[in-house]
Amino acid sequence: MTPFWFRVVIAGLCLCNFVTFSKSAPATKKTSPKAITRPNIIIVYTDDQGFGDASCLNPESKFKTLNIDRLAKEGLTFSDGHCSDTVCTPSRYGLLTGRYSWRTTLKRGVMSAEGKCLIADDRMTLASFLKEQGYVTAMVGKWHLGMDFPGEINDRDWRQPVRDMPLDKGFDYFWGIPASMNYGVLAWFEGRHAKVPPTLFTRKRLNRIALSDYRIMPPYEEKYNKTLMEVASNFVDSECLTRFTDKTIEWIENVAPAARTGHPFFLYLPYTSPHKPVIPLKRFRGKTEAGAYGDFILETDWHLGRLLDLLDREKLTENTIVIFTSDNGPETTWRERRKRFQHASNGIYREGKRSIHEGGHRVPFFIRWPAKVKPGRVWDKPVCQTDLLATFAEMLNQPLPANAGEDSVSFLNVLLNNKNIEPRSAMIHHAMQGRFAIREGEWKLVMPHRENGLELYNLAKDSGEDHDILQDHPEVVKKLTKRITEIVVNGRTTPGKNQPNDTPLWSDLTWIEGAPELQKRPSRNRKERLNPKP
């Protein structure tokens, strides 16, 4: 049963003051019809931020996220919003392509910094689609979808360009890092080169300000061995958020004059926080009641505020869509944080990152678009980050081809608050170790995997997934099993011509006839089952 305080929070979000909103942006009527149909788009994508790490969603939070809360007040809150997987790489793939990552060769886990990009050259992305519609496109931040670096580790020629990276997937501009910091090749890349290339080496060092954490910071080593990672001499982990935001502001300032005259931009800003290493700047340390993690969220929120202030200064607020969401639920340190600080990063939901349960994939999800979206609204039906591509396509009146956005369902009618909004097609959840679940309406069926059997939950009555009611509803189990099988085998969620997955059936699909057998592992305790390490 959903706690009373949570229902109060959602009701409070719905009652946000329109007067406050109207002071923050110019009147809609001053924006030209052409500009309205082609708004600027910014996606701010945090890393490992749980549902309970936005104070507007968690009244018991031990910190205030003033700028995230501002987006909720001035825009639309998806209280049942989901990433498409429970770890970094696959969620990013789903966000950018509108297709589930498990349809590719990546069935479990994440990629390293180096490797063939998971997004195929002919695969439509948000960036390539919007570029075709006349948008200028940029990415600033963490990629983590694979890059082709010149040469082999300890034998690189950094004068040569990096290939198979954001500039090859629809982005006109790239500034950022290749992957999570624990995977190395750490340098500030702009375009296909790093001004200071990663010719030194390092290992993870103990982070003394956070729980079970590490640091990436000088001094670095000149000689390589297999235990070390490549790093540039000027790379410091705690500078990521500041550098990303500074570059974002610089880029938007350059394109703002054109944007004000109807030439829109798309910016993708994937931050590295609050993913490990948890390293808030000194000015933020001790400012919350949730330790270094809370301080790091506070710094992230502050950088979001810098971006929102920039839009105000450049007179771009009214017709810019700002989307704020996270790639998966909180890291397993949420348990210790709850004990030590009484802060629940996963909110009222079960488990966190890597888990098939709600805390693994239900994430903060806000959209502000003053020109079209009424402020302070809450949508409590399921939506997925894969849905962005179809939403933008409908917004721009550009139908998607059969082989693009196969798992993308437009929610434009929700944004515009239209009547007779149809429920979203069934949504598929996927965990790091390869376990599946299907969500349709109030029902969630978790599929068998290794030693784990089927589980069924009614999320309208049991949002915490405390009561498995599998035995009480065999007809629901049968219906959802058939539906998830169709979605997997047909290569798409949406109507249209069936599309091939990138591989034949694989062993995680234990309920589908013809799938290879998945070997069971020795029984483990519940904590280990739900939060396996990558």
Does 15 have pLDDT greater than 70? Answer: no
Does 447 have pLDDT greater than 50? Answer: yes
**Element spanning 149, H or E:** none
Q: Is 202 helix (H, G, I), strand (E, B) or coil?
A: strand
Place of tokens 């629809």: 170
The class (CATH top level) of 427-530 is: alpha beta
Place of tokens 């599998």: 470
Query: In b/e form, how buried is each residue of 460-472, taking b as 16+ CB within 10 angstroms?
Result: eebbbbeeeeeee
* The token pair that represents 24 in the structure block: 């923050």
Instruction: Please report the pLDDT score of residue 17 as a whole number.
Output: 37
Does 483 have pLDDT greater than 70? Answer: yes
Does 10 have pLDDT greater than 90? Answer: no
CATH topology for the 40-415 domain: Alkaline Phosphatase, subunit A (3.40.720)
Mean pLDDT value of segment 433-441:
98
Domain chopping of the chain, boundaries: 40-415, 427-530
Instruction: Please report the pLDDT score of residue 93 as a whole number.
Output: 99
Instruction: Please report the pLDDT score of residue 393 as a whole number.
Output: 98
Mean pLDDT value of segment 247-255:
98
Instruction: Please report the pLDDT score of residue 21 as a whole number.
Output: 30
pLDDT tens digit sequence for 18-34: 333 333 333 333 333 44
Q: pLDDT over 90 for what percent of the chain?
A: 90
Q: Give 449's strand partners.
A: 452
pLDDT tens digit sequence for 51-108: 999 999 999 999 999 999 999 999 999 999 999 999 999 999 999 999 999 999 999 9
Q: Give 61's strand partners.
A: none
Q: pLDDT over 70 for what percent of the chain?
A: 90
pLDDT tens digit sequence for 123-176: 999 999 999 999 999 999 999 999 999 999 999 999 999 999 999 999 999 999
Instruction: Please report the pLDDT score of residue 530 as a whole number.
Output: 38
CA atoms within 13 A on the CB side of 254: 11
Instruction: Please report the pLDDT score of residue 29 as a whole number.
Output: 36
SS percent in the chain: helix, strand, coil, step 5:
30, 20, 50
Does 506 have pLDDT greater than 60? Answer: yes
Instruction: Please report the pLDDT score of residue 33 as a whole number.
Output: 41
Mean pLDDT of the chain: 92
pLDDT tens digit sequence for 453-475: 999 999 999 999 999 999 999 99
4-13, 313-322, 376-385, 427-436: range with lowest mean pLDDT: 4-13
Kind of pairing, strands 443-446 and 455-458?
Answer: antiparallel
Residue type, 186: L
Tell me the residue ranges of DSSP E strands in 335-376.
365-368
Q: How far is CA 450 from CA 287, 331, 534, in A?
A: 44, 23, 17
Does 511 have pLDDT greater than 50? Answer: yes
Mean pLDDT value of segment 420-424:
92
How far is 84 from 244, CA to CA, in rounded Å?
Answer: 24
Radius of gyration of the chain (CA): 22
Q: What is the largest CA-CA distance in the chain?
A: 65
Mean pLDDT value of segment 434-453:
98
How far is 307 from 300, CA to CA, in rounded Å?
Answer: 11
Q: How far is CA 151 from CA 113, 158, 196, 201, 527, in A?
A: 14, 8, 17, 16, 41
Model-level pTM? 0.92
Instruction: Please report the pLDDT score of residue 520 as a whole number.
Output: 73
Instruction: Please report the pLDDT score of residue 37 as a whole number.
Output: 66
88-92, 420-424, 490-494: range with lowest mean pLDDT: 420-424
DSSP 67-92: HHHHHHHHSEEETTEE-SSSSHHHHH
